[in-house]
Structure 1
Amino acid sequence: MYEYDIHKRFSEKNAKLYQYTLEDSLYKSNSVGVKVSRGDKAKGGRKLKGFYDELCRHIFDINLNLLEQIREFPITYSERSNSAAIAMALSRLTPYVISEYGVDCKGVDLREDESQNEKQRRTIDFWCATEGNNGLDIWIESKHLWLNVGKRAKRAFDYHCTKRIRDAIAQVKDITQLKQAGRLENYNDFKLALFSINVFCMKTESPNMNELDSIPYEVAEMIQNVANEMGVSPQGVLCSALDLRPSMNTPKENIYHLYGKEYLPFVLLCGVVV
């Protein structure tokens, strides 16, 4: 049986094929720190960062095991394909996890989009709570994005990805309105828009891979800028990176870059705290 050991998975031994990093330049624990959901005031921002880091490592570990064993990589397909891995990863961290959390939103003025206000009920992708007196309550909405980093690509999100970013942030903002309307418990919680991102290029358009080191930061900044354009100031942005560049030009390249004509230098998990 597979161990799901994130320390073993991302050990120095495996670094020759892939590496894990956390980009946190746009996240300041003190500015994100709030009173946690239960118990006295605590460094909520620091706790959330630690939780997020561990969550992402578990999500990547689960996906890598599927890729290596059965040639499936759901994190690269869609948010629905990756939802099981997110639920599994959350359950590795806490027993308190609910997916597709249903909320009655009839009569709640959620946003300017009238079609949203006509809905009788909506769901939130995930809710979880960590254990202990200083536990965290976290709401999560997930979306899947893609970014072309080929030589002739703009290295910017297209219209469809930008819309997905805006939709996820708007959905996370709805949670505040639902709480104010009494449809959700008024926890002092965290609201997280979580984006899985394929960073890819055609092999015929491969850039100098050493010039892609800044991609996790660039992606985090692009998503933050979309939020700012919406009039939303994120409390912080974290970007976990599964760096698959080490596996290029090795005997195992075709395992980790499963689309024959493409390279997948990174798979990212970018979290926006709203």
Structure 2
Amino acid sequence: MAALTRLSKSSFSSLSSLSSVSRISRSLYSGFAPDTSSHGATSYSPRLGSTPNLAVKDTKDRSVQWVFLGSPGVGKGTYASRLSNLLGVPHIATGDLVREELASSGPLSQELSEIVNQGKLVSDEIIINLLSKRLEAGGAKGELGFILDGFPRTIRQAEILEGVTEIDLVLNLKLREDVLLEKCLGRRTCSQCGGNFNVASINVKGANGHPAISMAPLLPPAHCMSKLVTRADDTEEVIKHRIHVYNEKSRPVEEFYRSRGKLLEFDLPGGIPESWPKLLEALNLDDYKEKQSAAA
């Protein structure tokens, strides 16, 4: 317990490096036209006819500071990476930080292995520690701005983050749970190049007010096909448990940012070909459309 307390204190202290890594801007979302939910909180949903009036400045003038939320397997990494390439800011995925630590055989490796294989959430202290190291390294290289993927996952983390920097926008990606399960079960990684692919071919009929969704597989090149492996935690039992844990512990984070007028909810209409142009439209990134090929 004493060791955990020491880790917590040092991690919270080092997270203050965020303020030196990023530039704060409040003007980006002054044009939002909010909708009011039945709970009285403010939310922003990019459904047809209600796209927020979001103006993104050239990255020479500022750097965005965004957070991506969404259930496991929804595609946070895919779309955060594309926007990172498009806008020229670092994509920081806490899931990648955890996997890097697992592969490093460092002091946290064994503990993290047990947590991940059981589908549990990594503790605030460990995540903050890993994120702090990444931000400090980026600051030393002159990085400005960020797109955070997988953090914050708890109210406590959100409050810590709010205390040291200003988040411009929180993008909440949403997808039906049955589709999420199929996507996660189809995930594969190339054991040689580390590329991420998906072998699932999803065709789900519309039901209970939900539209039909089709997603083509994201297959690897021929030289990677024989080297595909499945993540240890991508079993049906673990995936369902991860989704349950997310719903129970991370959904309150959505409300945290909704109450602050920073939550933009985006319902994925399908795979990347259908969703990517609509996401750019929802973010009012029309001026960047000629750069789409660079983000592909």
Q: Same fold (TM over 0.5)?
A: no
TM-score of the two chains, using structure 1 as the length reference? 0.29
TM-score of the two chains, using structure 2 as the length reference? 0.27
Q: Which has the higher helix share?
A: 2
- Larger RCO: 1 or 2 (CA < 8 Å, sep 6+): 2
